[in-house]
Amino acid sequence: MRPPFRGLKMLKKILIANRGEIALRVHRACQEMGIRTVAVHSTADASAMHVRLADESVCIGPPAARDSYLNVAAILSAAAITGADAIHPGYGFLSENARFAEMVEAHGLTFIGPTADHIHMMGDKIAAKDAMRKLNVPLVPGSPGALESFEEARAIAETIKYPVLIKAAAGGGGRGMKVARSADELEEAWQVARTEAKAAFGNDAVYMEKYLDRPRHIELQVLADTHGNVVHFGERDCSLQRRHQKLVEEAGSPALNAAQRDALGAQVTAGLRQIGYRNAGTLEFLYQDGQFAFIEMNTRLQVEHPVTEMLCGVDLVREQIRIAAGEKLGYGQADVTFNGHAIECRITAEDPESFAPSPGRVNTYHAPGGLGVRVDSALYSGYAVPPHYDSLVAKLIVHAPSRPQAIARMQRALDEMVVDGIKTTLPLHRRIMADAEFQSGDYTIHWLERFVAREA
């Protein structure tokens, strides 16, 4: 029996308001800290692995996410019935919902994440950019705030020059984002972005950014405790994307050196200290021609957090829980070390060529293993992947002393992995890892789309 975790606030039981691999990820950290877990699930997930492994579970509604994993009343009731002390939201679902964070605390529970005010501020990308401007963090050139009219959009596009990008203030998951390469395309981009933003987020506020033609997506992981200590864990390179969605992530970036990482990290941690940020956060930047430009901040754990954990030897979920319990980080920036190289492949239940969803029963599941291989997945043989949720079914993460060794290890692990019965993106990942250009490390956010088109 592990001794129970005693932070300043005793956390004995945590409700995990999520599903799939991330619910398992949080459960595992809790187990090692001697904290009991409560799983919540929809009727479609009754036999899911996160439900099987948790100490207790509560059904919170029918399959549709809005009736279950987004059902705040059902989740808070589940916490009350089971006597949970805290809620970990994982990523997606309610993790960046400021109102949810507020209600959790109003019910006397601990929200494992930032304050509702910071979630609210960073959830509005225009407000987030404003905050970063004040902290002297460099931004992508664009409109100073929301675009009030098409005429304003046209005037700003003339100043910053085409191509430009219209983006939803409430955006996420690449939705509500449209490129205009010339004045002729602006009106359509403006209309489509606003319509998509309204439909997806119920908010049609949009802003404009210069569309960078060959940036890398570089993001910085931070942790802040409630005693003013802020530390960063270096960068992740998430440039390998399809439709603005990440597929492969690396830590560190093949394009940065330690001095660049330290400089960016120092600037960001100073800024977050100034605004009193707490818990985990990720600042996303585009990086081109030696310049960083902030695009958004995510006030939660990211899907790709394991590459940072492998690189720095840190358990970010454990740290989130310790911070929420009021503990001090207990180490400083100089104690954070970066060893070797880590890569993550996101394996989804999709056709590797058409990307059509491929839910259904997994006949055989075999996870790879060996030195430096980690699999974060809720799959098991006989499990039926439900059609209602995100198609991510496994994250394969490798760690090795160097980038070439990490690639070789990933190739070996991908070859060992078996997910039989549904289509997955495993074959695509094998092709990416074998590609000479990927191996050279010289890629931008547009590389993968071209690679997929070339292979088709």
Provide the minimum distance between the beta carbon of 168 and ligand ADP in the complex, in angstroms, as a whole number: 8
Binds ligand ADP by CB under 6 A, chosen from 21, 85, 250, 296: 296
The answer to whether residue 235 forms part of the interface with ligand ADP (CB under 6 A) is no
Site for ligand ADP contains 295 (CB under 6 A): yes
State in angstroms the smallest separation of the CB of 163 from ligand ADP: 8
Q: Taking the complex as a whole, how short is the minimal distance between the CB of residue 246 and ligand ADP, in angstroms? A: 7
User: Candidates 14-22, 77-85, 87-95, 210-218 — which segment interacts with ligand ADP by CB under 6 A?
Assistant: 210-218
Instruction: State which of positions 239-278 bind ligand ADP (CB under 6 A).
Output: 241, 244
E strand or H helix that includes residue 36? strand 36-42
Cis before 252 (ω within 30): yes
Q: Is 448 in the site for ligand ADP (CB under 6 A)?
A: no
As beta bridge partners, residue 293 has 286
Minimum CB distance to ligand ADP smaller for 288 or for 333:
288
Specify whether 300 is catalytic: yes
What interhelical angle do 98-106 and 72-82 show, nearest 10? 30
* b/e map 240-260, b = 16+ CB within 10 Å: bbeeeebbbbbbbbbbbeeeb
Binding status of residue 313 toward ligand ADP by CB under 6 A: no
Letters for 85-124 (x = contact with ligand ADP by CB under 6 A, - = none) are: ----------------------------------------
Question: In the set 5, 111, 190, 211, which binds ligand ADP (CB under 6 A)?
Answer: 211
Nearest-approach distance from CB 183 to ligand ADP, in angstroms: 18
330 binds ligand ADP (CB under 6 A): no
Contacts of 233 by beta carbon, 8 Å cutoff, 6+ apart: 221, 222, 223, 308, 311, 312, 314, 316, 336
Question: Please, which residue, 105 or 284, has the CB nearer to ligand ADP?
Answer: 284
Say if residue 335 is exposed, middle or buried (CB neighbours under 10 Å; 0-12, 13-18, 19+): exposed
Beta carbon nearer to ligand ADP, 82 or 444:
444
Site string for ligand ADP, 123-142 (x = CB under 6 A): -----------------x--
CB-CB contact of 324 with 279 (8 Å) = yes
174 interacts with ligand ADP by CB under 6 A: yes
Token code pair at residue 183 = 């004045």
Q: How far apart are the first and last CA of the chain?
A: 53
How many residues line the site for ligand ADP (CB under 6 A)? 20
Look up residue 160 and give its DSSP letter. H
User: Residue 40 or residue 208: which is nearer to ligand ADP going by CB?
Assistant: 208
171 near ligand ADP, rule: CB under 6 A: yes
**Shortest Cβ distance from residue 241 to ligand ADP (Å)?**
5
Instruction: Report the DSSP beta bridge partners of residue 13.
Output: 36
Angular region, 58: left φ>0, alpha ψ -120 to 50, beta rest: beta
- Give the span between the Cα atoms of 344 and 249, in whole angstroms: 5
Stretch that binds ligand ADP, among 152-160, 168-176, 227-235, 275-283 (CB under 6 A): 168-176
State the DSSP H helix or E strand holding residue 287, giving kind and residue range, or none if neither: strand 279-288
Q: Which of 261, 300, 346, 374 is catalytic?
A: 300
Is there binding between residue 445 and ligand ADP (CB under 6 A)?
yes
Closest by Cα among 157, 161, 211 to 187: 157
| Residue of 39, 86, 165, 206 that binds ligand ADP (CB under 6 A) | 165
Q: What is the dihedral of CA 143, 148, 150, 152, to 10 degrees?
A: -50
Q: Which helix (H) or strand (E) holds 312?
A: helix 305-312
| Rg from Cα positions in the chain | 21
Residue 236 CB, nearest distance to ligand ADP (Å)?
11
Binding site for ligand ADP (CB under 6 A): 140, 165, 171-174, 177, 209-212, 215, 217, 241, 244, 284, 286, 295-296, 445
User: What is the set of active-site residues?
Assistant: 300
